[in-house]
Amino acid sequence: MVKAMRQMKVEEKEKEKKPKFQMNDHIDILIEVLKRLDGPSLGVAACVCRLWCTLTRSDSLWEHLCFRHVSSPPPSSVRPVVVALGGYKRLYMVCVRPVLSRLRNSDSELVWTRDEVQLSLSLFCVDYYERRLGGGATSASSLMFLCNPVNV
């Protein structure tokens, strides 16, 4: 039993000697992998190391995340508007994520269509204007209904 363990340790050491594929040297592949993660995992990725943090700061990743499951991508005129209102990461955090989690509770199969996209964008506009006009509060008070369960 001890001999087998010794052999395993030697093999492991040999494996470590082989040149490993360093993910951080292949940023294009890393971006492709990050594109395929969901929101929370992207947040975890930001805490891994500085390089990953810089990559996750790029708004294009979050844009991809927001519209990943939509069959037809939104028109290109949407992008400058979203960027002006606070960026795709904020859109995801404030609108897309709460909507997604509410949908997940009710249905087993997640359906993300144009309607949900338009809802998210509208809520995003509300968020921006409330912050602007509401004296710089960090989150819009009207959007609180997304976070708290409501009995209608």
Partner 1 sequence: MSNTSENPNPSSSSAKMTLKTSDNELFEVEEAVAMKFCTVKQYFEDEKDSDVAARGSTTVIPLPNVHSAVLTMLISYGKKLPQSNAVADNHEEEETKKKERKKYEQGLLKNLMPGELLDLISAANYLDFKEGLEFFNQALADHIQNKSVEYVRKFFGIKNDYEPHEEEKYREEYAWAFEGIECWLIGELKQFMAKTKTLDIAGTLLGIKPALIVASFSVRGLNSLDSNILKPEMIAPGENILAAWINAIGPTGLDSNT
How far apart CA 33 and CA 97 sit, in angstroms, is 20
Shortest distance (Å) from residue 80 CB to partner 1: 26
CB-based burial label for 123 (10 Å; 0-12, 13-18, 19+): buried
Segment interacting with partner 1 (CB under 8 A) among 45-53, 65-73, 109-117, 126-134: 45-53
Quick one: which of 8, 27, 36, 122 contacts partner 1 (CB under 8 A)? 36
Residue 34 vs 117, nearer CB to partner 1: 34
CB-based contacts of 141: which residues, under 8 Å, 6+ apart? 130, 134
Which phi and psi (to 5°) does residue 58 adopt? -70, 130
How many degrees, rounded to 5, is the angle at CA 42 between CA 51 and CA 104? 175
The answer to whether residue 87 forms part of the interface with partner 1 (CB under 8 A) is no
Residue 17 vs 20, nearer CB to partner 1: 20
What one-letter code names the amino acid at 57?
R
Site string for partner 1, 90-129 (x = CB under 8 A): ---x---x--------------------------------
Segment interacting with partner 1 (CB under 8 A) among 18-26, 72-80, 116-124, 136-144: 18-26
What one-letter code names the amino acid at 121?
L
Quick one: which of 7, 8, 27, 41 contacts partner 1 (CB under 8 A)? 41
80 secondary structure, DSSP code: H
